[in-house]
Amino acid sequence: MARIPVAQRRRDFIDAAVEVISSHGIDGATTRRIAEQAQANVAMLHYCYDSKEDLFADVYEYVSGKYREVIEGSDPHTTLPGAAQAILRGVMECYIDSRSFTATTFELVSWARRQHGDRGIAVYDQALDSLRKALQEAAAADPVAPEVIDEIAYVLATLADGFGVNWLTYGDTTAAREQMEVNCAVLDSWLTARLAAGPAKPARRKRAARA
């Protein structure tokens, strides 16, 4: 009917997949459902993608990309705490903006883990990398030990993840906005204490926590 070039069709399928995955889960996201959501045919899907796995790979990349955007595109700050605040806020706002995106991300991460093992955690890894880089840049004027950066990145991820789980579970926008503030307050009080304490934690022995 509509006669749409493959490139556009692929984008449609990715969007459709995000929607379907968020409401039916990874395994509930069948080719037929995705095709229907994209107002296309099952055969069309296989005309654009060799396999369902191929489509999911694109969805995966799309999600990764969005994270990078949000993290790198957050309001630039010259202080480490400022940058950390801005990034955390950015991610949480992005979650609130699109529940489908949030749900799909969490589905993808857990799917990738059990599907591809180590290689599957790429989204998470990449997001943490962008995170570390952004923090390091913000702290350029007043450098901080890499272990501290790692720790901050981890806390940021933890707060964002925790926020995401709750937001997905309850879906209450008003509550979510309040919780966003709470999380920012949590980050703030901890960061202040942490940066005052010095580079090394009391009981640190081995290499820094990877995440």
Query: 114 contacts which partner out of DNA, its own copies, none, CB within 5 to 8 A by kind?
Result: its own copies
Q: List binders of its own copies among 159-188 (CB under 8 A).
A: 159-163, 165-166, 168-170, 172, 174-175, 178-179, 181-183, 185-186
Report DSSP letters for 46-110, one per residue: HHH-SSHHHHHHHHHHHHHHHHHHHHHTSPP-SSHHHHHHHHHHHHHHHHHH-HHHHHHHHHHHH
Member of 1, 3, 27, 43 binding its own copies (CB under 8 A): 27
Note whether 119 binds DNA by CB under 7 A. Answer: no
Note whether 68 binds DNA by CB under 7 A. Answer: no
Q: How far apart are CA 157 and CA 170, in angstroms?
A: 20
Q: CB of residue 1 vs its own copies: minimum separation in angstroms?
A: 31
Tokens of 56: 């999911």
Query: 32 contacts which partner out of its own copies, DNA, none, CB within 5 to 8 A by kind?
Result: DNA
Q: Judged by CB, which is closer to DNA: 51, or 189?
A: 51
- The DSSP output letter for 209 is P
Place of tokens 């995401």: 164
Tokens of 166: 């709750």
Interface with DNA by CB under 7 A: which residues? 1-6, 9, 28-33, 40-47, 50-53
